[in-house]
Structure 1
Amino acid sequence: MTVDELVQALGALASPQRLRVLAELGQESVHVSELARRVGMSRPLLYGHLTKLEQAGLVTSHHSVSPDGKALRHYEVVPFDLRVTPAIVAAAIAENPEEGP
């Protein structure tokens, strides 16, 4: 894992709202409107959180069409196991010394 990837993942996880979104998506793939209702936030705010999670590689999305012809964007969790230890941090810094102290 590079320094940038580590920082991006940790930054994406550093929000209670994004953790709530991940917990909800861990149950099943959900379309944005339904997810917004479940987590109790507006769709624009939710899209901001989903963008951050998607950029960090923690969720993915795809489009579908509902039976009544509406376009739906579904999100789901990308399986991940993030471990942060001093050795992992040191290895990331060693791969990218210009990002270090």
Structure 2
Amino acid sequence: MSADELSIKLTAISSAQRMRIIAMLAGERLHVSELARRVGMSRALLYMHLTKLEESGYVAGSLELSEDGKALKYFEVLPFTLTIDAETLVSAVARSAESAESGEI
């Protein structure tokens, strides 16, 4: 993982609200309306946070039809491990430097 990729991952979970969302979804998958009620925020604000988490690979959303035909978007936590230590940072910076030298950036 490059330094930029690591930064994106860290930024996505640097919010206490996004950490609460992950914690809530870690126990069960929930549809957006239920999750909004449980975390106490508007669906619009929740979608902003969920989008950031989904783009970073922490959660995944899927549309499902309820018995009465309503479309519900469910979210669940994806398996992840994120280790932050000196070795991880050194490796990320080295990968970024290698990419820059090879012209990939």
What is the TM-score of this pair, normalised by structure 1?
A: 0.93
Identity across the alignment (%):
51
Name which one, 1 or 2, has greater alpha-carbon Rg: 2
Corresponding pairs, count: 98
Structure-2 residue corresponding to 1:75: 75
**Deviation (angstroms), 1:5:** 1.8
1:1-101 equivalences under 5 Å are: 1-97=1-97, 98=100
Write out the 4+ residue segments of structure 1 that deviate beyond 3 Å after TM superposition: none
CA distance in 1, matches of 2:17, 2:70: 27
TM-score (structure 2 length as normaliser) = 0.90
Query: 1:4: how far off?
Result: 2.0
Give the gaps of 5 or more residues in structure 1: none
Report the RMSD for the aligned CA atoms in angstroms. Answer: 0.8
